[in-house]
Amino acid sequence: MTSGLGQHRQGASTLISPKVSIVVRTKDRPDLLSRAFRSILHQTYNDWECIVVNDGGDPAVLEGVLTSVQMDMDERVKIIRNEESLGRWPAANAGIRQSAGTYVALHDDDDSWHPRFLEATVGFLDVNCDELGVIARAEVIHEALRGTEVVEEGRYILEEHNPEVLLVDLLHFNRFVPIQFLYRRSLHDQFGLYDERLPAAADWAFNLLVCSAKSIRYVSGEVLAYWHQRPSETGPEGNSVFAATDDHERADRAFRDEQLRAFIATHGAGLPLILASQKDAITLRAEQTDARQDRHTETLLAAIREQQARLEQLSTSVDRIQHHLDRMLDTRIRGFLWRQKQRLKQRRFRL
């Protein structure tokens, strides 16, 4: 069931489409969602629509958040209400189907943007018409929940060493997350929507398809996106990379297996078999190297332990010698003082 708090902006007699469609998937995370909405409202670029997909969440909770951040009467906001939760990627696709923008961004309800995110990324794509999408530098922010308060615990820049994202980079794992990515909506016409069969990581599968056509550049070196992570949270307020690791592992294996079967159906099993045997050989050599290193390490540790034992013995001997010296010096000093006293007594008697 779909309803809108507002429709697309109306001109005198024609429908004016926004430049950017922002899709926000959410379910009963009001405190985090408030932060996400504020980061959208604070953008210096304003030609956008926000499609909020309430995926089985309490409508009253969403309405309360919209009211609290003063988005309830914003005509740029549309609401899609799923009576029951359909999952991450059906929710994302529902928003994309309702979108009308030239560009699309998935804004997770627990992440945030720098105020210049849209200004910079839209400007880049407007000028570079051959680019399929663009990503912003992102800062990973580790945080924890203390009641309704979000406490920051640390941060670092994601993939700081990479000047751009190449296909070869994505073969290992996803190098960027939705909050960083602004892309042309036409990519869904070319590659389809997000794969709803995958329990997680459908963005990685989509990014692979995009990068198979063209690498993706960073808009600049400036941090313009924030990926908020809560490693200690395993419930609804957790991140899927921590709270749903099984989903990510299953999605990774399922997608790789599907691509392998598609390759074998067209090209046969020859190359995969050779690569598998090479991998086995590399693994064996690595295990042999590890075993040699382990033996070498054990030898070094044994030598270190032997030296430590010798040092302890030497330290004990030094302590014993010091003790004897102290006693000897003490005895000599006492003897010297006794002799001096005796001499003084003798002189006194003589006088």
Structure confidence at residue 55 (pLDDT):
96
Whole-angstrom Cα distance, residue 231 to residue 348?
Answer: 87
Mean pLDDT of 135-146: 93
Which residue did the predictor score with more confidence, 281 or 89? 89
Q: Does 321 score more than 50 pLDDT?
A: yes
Structure confidence at residue 54 (pLDDT):
97
Q: Does 5 score more than 60 pLDDT?
A: no
Q: Predicted confidence band at 10 (pLDDT cuts at 50, 70, 90)?
A: very low
| 94 neighbors 79 (Cβ within 8 angstroms) | no
Q: What is the DSSP letter of 19?
A: S
Mean pLDDT of 98-121: 97
Structure confidence at residue 295 (pLDDT):
77
Structure confidence at residue 234 (pLDDT):
73
Mean pLDDT of 240-249: 67
Whole-angstrom Cα distance, residue 308 to residue 296?
Answer: 18
Q: Does 126 score more than 90 pLDDT?
A: yes
Q: Predicted confidence band at 286 (pLDDT cuts at 50, 70, 90)?
A: low
Structure confidence at residue 317 (pLDDT):
79
Is the domain 2-268 a CATH 3.40.50.300 member? no
Mean pLDDT of 73-92: 94
Structure confidence at residue 310 (pLDDT):
84
| 23 neighbors 99 (Cβ within 8 angstroms) | yes
Query: CA-based angle 104:106:109, to the nearest 5?
Result: 145
Q: Look up the pTM and report it.
A: 0.73
Of 168-177, 256-265, 336-345, the least confident: 336-345
Which residue did the predictor score with more confidence, 283 or 211? 211
Of 44-48, 90-94, 312-316, the least confident: 312-316
Q: What share of the chain is helix, strand, coil (3-state, %, to 5)?
A: 50, 20, 30
Mean pLDDT of 138-160: 90
Mean pLDDT of 313-339: 73
Question: Which residues are CB-neighbours of 117 under 8 A, at least 6 positions away?
Answer: 43, 136, 182, 224, 225
Q: Predicted confidence band at 248 (pLDDT cuts at 50, 70, 90)?
A: low
Structure confidence at residue 350 (pLDDT):
57
Strands in 191-313 per DSSP E? 216-229
Q: Does 113 score more than 80 pLDDT?
A: yes
Structure confidence at residue 347 (pLDDT):
66
Mean pLDDT of 322-342: 70
CB-based burial of residue 123 (10 Å sphere; 0-12 exposed, 13-18 middle, 19+ buried)? middle
Mean pLDDT of 240-244: 60
Mean pLDDT of 275-286: 64
Structure confidence at residue 244 (pLDDT):
61
Structure confidence at residue 307 (pLDDT):
85
Q: Does 331 score more than 80 pLDDT?
A: no
Whole-angstrom Cα distance, residue 237 to residue 227?
Answer: 14
Which residue did the predictor score with more confidence, 82 or 236? 82
Average pLDDT, the chain: 85
